[in-house]
């Protein structure tokens, strides 16, 4: 009976916290803020990634850069060596842990214990009784990604977008695919845009890689064979 009573008291708070933390079970929602002075054409959309001193030789950095490259490709961006790039793309990212407290009222059916006790609404059959309140705390994590695009020749910032979401996911690497997709959705956004982007949740773990596909060399004519006439 003791454990049954504890469960009856705790269940409403647990359920409320689950709703608060998960939001919609099939989507990951991120808040996106963009500042833009974009005027580039498709012909100039060559870019290279730039890194801070702490990001040099970082496998994690290379993995996130590949995610960003995949999302930039549909917008006619082409990654090239730094000396040939029109734009430089820089990434900053972080994860911050916190706790959320959820307090819920719990009503009881009457002042008597025993087998006749059961949770009731606030106006049960014996008149109104004041509720008890139960507070539960749960860990939450805020994941943040910022993408900054500048002109390589002038250093002028032309696009700066930040995506941020908060949930119970303690791993930044699992959150990163959703942050990248949210940040670069509908590129380029207007200056000062603030909006919420929902990305469908994939229960399968993301298969992240830092491997860049190597272009296949053009087929050569076998030695001794004549090339086709033009």
Q: How far apart, in whole angstroms, are the C-alpha atoms of residue 68 and residue 62?
A: 10
Q: Is the pTM of this model over 0.75?
A: no
Q: For 168-221, how does the pLDDT look when each residue is reduced to its tens digit (9 = 90+)?
A: 999 999 999 999 999 999 999 999 999 999 999 887 655 555 544 444 444 444
Q: For 112-124, how does the pLDDT look when each residue is reduced to its tens digit (9 = 90+)?
A: 555 555 455 555 5
Q: How far apart, in whole angstroms, are the C-alpha atoms of residue 161 and residue 192?
A: 10
Write the class of the CATH domain 2-199. Answer: alpha beta
Q: How far apart, in whole angstroms, are the C-alpha atoms of residue 143 and residue 120?
A: 40
Asked whether 195 and 60 are in contact (CB, 8 A), the reply is no
Torsion of CA 58, 59, 64, 65, to 10 degrees: 70
Q: For 38-67, how does the pLDDT look when each residue is reduced to its tens digit (9 = 90+)?
A: 987 888 899 999 999 999 999 999 999 999
């Amino acid at each position: 009976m003791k454990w049954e009573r504890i469960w009856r008291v705790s269940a409403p708070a647990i359920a409320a916290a689950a709703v608060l933390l998960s939001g919609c079970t099939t989507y990951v929602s991120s808040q996106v803020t963009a500042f833009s002075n974009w005027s580039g054409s498709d012909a100039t959309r060559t870019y290279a990634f730039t890194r801070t001193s702490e990001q040099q030789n970082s496998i994690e950095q290379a993995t996130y850069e590949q995610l960003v490259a995949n999302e930039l490709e549909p917008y006619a961006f082409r990654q090239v060596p730094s000396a040939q790039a029109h734009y430089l793309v820089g990434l900053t990212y972080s994860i911050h842990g916190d706790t959320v407290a959820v307090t819920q009222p719990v009503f009881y059916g009457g002042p008597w214990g025993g087998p006749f006790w059961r949770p009731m609404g606030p106006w049960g059959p014996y008149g109104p009784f004041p509720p008890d309140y139960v507070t539960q705390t749960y860990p939450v994590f805020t994941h943040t990604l910022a993408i900054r695009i500048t002109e390589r020749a002038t250093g002028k910032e032309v696009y700066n977008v930040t995506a941020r979401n908060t949930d119970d996911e303690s791993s930044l690497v699992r959150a990163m695919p959703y942050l990248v997709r949210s940040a670069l959705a509908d590129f380029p956004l207007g200056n000062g845009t603030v909006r919420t982007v929902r990305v469908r949740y994939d229960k399968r773990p993301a298969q992240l890689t830092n491997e860049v596909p190597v272009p296949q060399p053009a087929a050569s004519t076998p030695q001794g064979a004549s090339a086709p006439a033009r």
